[in-house]
A and B are shown apart, each in its own frame.
Chain A
């Protein structure tokens, strides 16, 4: 039993049996009895709650399966093992970039330090959801190892039900061995970016409306301690790939190019947990006020920058999650349908401001109208709000419960990749497809999250819920 596997929130502390295979052909043997049950694949531990954890069970650390199998530069089809990180992919495709074939990740979440397997299991989205959908839409196929010793190739048209269940399937259907991924052609790896000051929520929605056609990437940072008329104030950022031939703007941070995923030189780091959490209210207030003034009174700031700081601003600080101290933090991300999105977001932001529980990071963006590729994919056409809360025990959990009520009233739901506390009843009501996933789940696989939200109704009734 090791206690060294945590999720990004560092809130759950569990013991696991862990293995780190380095050859894909070892997998069937591991799954077929060498490991205690239940099992779960673990990538880079960037999901926030308990969906990547398996209290008392086995974790299969996938970071040893990090080989590329092929990259066809004519078609942009990349084949790699599931433990390859997006950071490594970016390192390879930007290093080998050729002016006439600039391939790029079709979808990229807020950190590049996730594995391809994890990106599929959580069906991650990025700032371009309205144009590109989720990560799963760009997966051509993968090979899935199951505990019965089988290895199944899954894709659209081949074992498709299992393919759909695995996308967003939280690792419950088995272990993804390798993946064929369709990259996309872009005009440049440099982005044209506009930061626009927004002073209210109405303005956010107006800007969103105006931006979606012309700008591929959009998201807003919101000061969630602002209330009254200032509620919803923040910075709306929209970006698109610069025209072909745009010259280099500045050097990329070391972590992006080296293909490394650990602490790379040139990036800041947080070596130990901050005492009592540095991110207390005063700090967050000061930070938010300063960040809002980043634009120095101007309405719009335009810049040409490398993709890295635009997509992954927090990756510049290694282990930033440790700033929350030993108690860890909780992330809340909801998606609510368009119809009631405006009022729901107002209510959510109002609740947070009222509770005075500052969120260091509050990100608001709109999801587009897309057909989700996975059974349990998170997005719904509407608005998604993501927030961090330092763990202060019950007051924090109470606030999140009140946010859940607001989200549920609007027919919304929370993102399993971020969640560590939603009730089984709310999860099941907001993801009625969960029973279909349970039907496709490998009987030897489970997670702490799954046991919690299925409350013993799933296949693993013998496992004590945690």
Chain B
């Protein structure tokens, strides 16, 4: 019976990952901001087979309260075997360009908050040989693009933080897993027109579950994004600037 902590548990992707852990009979600690939705998700996971489900209400922007949440987690769940950092927002890039407050909110929720949470997690988990710390980045963090560089910068920063954490924890047997989803059909992207590149959250969740199992450093999901991003990263600037990417 594994202890799994999921931060941002009501996000579409995290909820699907949680279902996979529930089906395995894991004990779950779920943290999210919206009380009613968190309780609904928790009830669902209990029926789906989770041995125990604990919930904690927290707005992750409220970084001063991360520590007390992690203390609560240690008290009720015990040692964490798998931690998944899954919260995030996808702000409006047009607003971020004009509105400093909007850009700040985007950077806070997608970089500052997860970076500080990961710092707290690393402190508590560094002696837990065999444990896994996973976090959801984005393909948007691989190269700055005019259409979403604020969100991309936050996710790119997170990518580097995770890379460093992985380096630090490697000798101690704690794996750090970076997940880079492409386009996922979730409420966060509800207003986008969908094409063949779009994946369903349950498909992405399966990839995340496997990446955690295999302790894989970096996982693109669906897998074809590794290739797409390889191409996007290698396009020369002179050509790149002619695109609307």
Residues of A within 8 A of B (CB): 19-20, 22-25, 64, 67-71, 78, 80, 91-92, 95-96, 258-260, 262
A262-B200 contact, Cβ under 8 Å, with A95-B23, A95-B49: yes
**Can you offer 19 A-B residue contacts whose CB atoms are under 8 A?**
A20-B190, A23-B37, A64-B187, A67-B40, A67-B44, A68-B43, A69-B43, A69-B44, A70-B43, A71-B47, A78-B47, A80-B47, A91-B23, A92-B48, A259-B19, A259-B23, A259-B48, A260-B202, A262-B200
Cα(A449)–Cα(B19), bound, Å: 36
Whether a CB of chain A sits under 8 angstroms from the CB of B17 is: no
Shortest CB distance B88–A (Å): 16
Residue numbers in A under 8 Å from B48 (CB-CB): 68, 92, 259
Whether a CB of chain A sits under 8 angstroms from the CB of B12 is: yes
Interface SS majority for chain B = helix
In the complex, chain B residues 8-27 whose Cβ is within 8 Å of any chain A Cβ: 12, 19, 23
Interface bits B43-87 vs A (CB < 8 Å: 1, else 0): 110111100000000000000000000000000000000000000
Interface bits B32-47 vs A (CB < 8 Å: 1, else 0): 0000110011011011
CB pair A68–B202 under 8 Å, yes or no, is no
Q: How many residues of B contact A (CB 8 A)?
A: 18
Cα(A67)–Cα(B44), bound, Å: 5
Shortest CB distance B140–A (Å): 22
**Which residue of chain B is the closest to A65 with respect to CB atoms?**
B40
Q: Which 9 A-B pairs have the closest CB atoms?
A: A68-B47, A67-B44, A71-B47, A68-B44, A22-B187, A69-B43, A67-B40, A92-B48, A23-B37
Q: Which of B37, B49, B203 contacts A92 (CB 8 A)?
A: B49
Interface bits B186-224 vs A (CB < 8 Å: 1, else 0): 010010000000001011000000000000000000000
Residue numbers in A under 8 Å from B37 (CB-CB): 23
Cα(A253)–Cα(B132), bound, Å: 31
Q: Which of A67, A95, A259, A262 contacts B43 (CB 8 A)?
A: A67
CB pair B36–A25 under 8 Å, yes or no, is yes
Cα(A70)–Cα(B44), bound, Å: 7
Shortest CB distance A85–B (Å): 12
Cα(A87)–Cα(B46), bound, Å: 18
Residue numbers in A under 8 Å from B47 (CB-CB): 68-71, 78, 80, 92
CB pair A96–B49 under 8 Å, yes or no, is yes
**Which residue of chain B is the closest to A21 with respect to CB atoms?**
B187
Shortest CB distance B27–A (Å): 16
Shortest CB distance B32–A (Å): 12
Residue numbers in B under 8 Å from A67 (CB-CB): 40-41, 43-44
Cα(A25)–Cα(B39), bound, Å: 13
Shortest CB distance B155–A (Å): 23
Residue numbers in B under 8 Å from A262 (CB-CB): 200, 202-203
Cα(A88)–Cα(B116), bound, Å: 37
Cα(A55)–Cα(B202), bound, Å: 29
Cα(A64)–Cα(B10), bound, Å: 13
**Which residue of chain A is the closest to B203 with respect to CB atoms?**
A262
Cα(A91)–Cα(B44), bound, Å: 14
Residue numbers in B under 8 Å from A78 (CB-CB): 47
Shortest CB distance B114–A (Å): 22
Residue numbers in A under 8 Å from B49 (CB-CB): 92, 95-96
Shortest CB distance A450–B (Å): 28
**Which residue of chain A is the closest to B48 with respect to CB atoms?**
A92
Residue numbers in A under 8 Å from B41 (CB-CB): 67
Cα(A91)–Cα(B37), bound, Å: 23
Cα(A297)–Cα(B193), bound, Å: 57
Cα(A67)–Cα(B12), bound, Å: 12
A22-B12 contact, Cβ under 8 Å, with A67-B43, A70-B47, A92-B48: yes
Residue numbers in B under 8 Å from A68 (CB-CB): 43-44, 46-48
Shortest CB distance B244–A (Å): 24
Kindly list 18 other residue pairs between chains A and B, CB separation below 8 angstroms, not including A19-B190, A23-B40.
A22-B12, A23-B37, A25-B36, A67-B41, A67-B43, A67-B44, A68-B43, A68-B44, A68-B47, A69-B40, A80-B47, A91-B23, A92-B47, A259-B19, A259-B23, A259-B48, A262-B200, A262-B203
Q: Which of A19, A67, A70, A78 has the most CB of B within 10 A?
A: A67
**Which residue of chain B is the closest to A263 with respect to CB atoms?**
B203
**Which residue of chain A is the closest to B39 with respect to CB atoms?**
A69
Shortest CB distance B208–A (Å): 15
Residue numbers in A under 8 Å from B23 (CB-CB): 91, 95, 258-259
Cα(A237)–Cα(B144), bound, Å: 63
Cα(A262)–Cα(B46), bound, Å: 23
Residue numbers in A under 8 Å from B12 (CB-CB): 22
Residue numbers in A under 8 Å from B43 (CB-CB): 67-70
**Which residue of chain B is the closest to A4 with respect to CB atoms?**
B194
Residue numbers in B under 8 Å from A260 (CB-CB): 202
Residue numbers in B under 8 Å from A64 (CB-CB): 187
**Which residue of chain A is the closest to B12 with respect to CB atoms?**
A22
Residue numbers in A under 8 Å from B36 (CB-CB): 25
Q: Which of A22, A80, A92, A258 has the most CB of B within 10 A?
A: A22
Residue numbers in A under 8 Å from B19 (CB-CB): 259
Shortest CB distance A26–B (Å): 9
Q: Which of A20, A68, A70 has the most CB of B within 10 A?
A: A68
Residue numbers in B under 8 Å from A96 (CB-CB): 49
Cα(A422)–Cα(B12), bound, Å: 41
Q: Which of B19, B40, B187, B190 has the most CB of A within 10 A?
A: B40
Q: Which of B48, B187, B202, B203 has the most CB of A within 10 A?
A: B48
Shortest CB distance A44–B (Å): 14
Residue numbers in B under 8 Å from A70 (CB-CB): 43, 47
Cα(A69)–Cα(B202), bound, Å: 20
Shortest CB distance B141–A (Å): 25
Cα(A71)–Cα(B46), bound, Å: 9
Residue numbers in B under 8 Å from A25 (CB-CB): 36
Residue numbers in B under 8 Å from A95 (CB-CB): 23, 49
Cα(A68)–Cα(B37), bound, Å: 13
**Which residue of chain B is the closest to A78 with respect to CB atoms?**
B47
Residue numbers in B under 8 Å from A69 (CB-CB): 40, 43-44, 47
Shortest CB distance A193–B (Å): 28
**Which residue of chain B is the closest to A88 with respect to CB atoms?**
B48
**Which residue of chain A is the closest to B19 with respect to CB atoms?**
A259
Cα(A70)–Cα(B187), bound, Å: 24
Cα(A70)–Cα(B47), bound, Å: 6
Cα(A400)–Cα(B237), bound, Å: 64
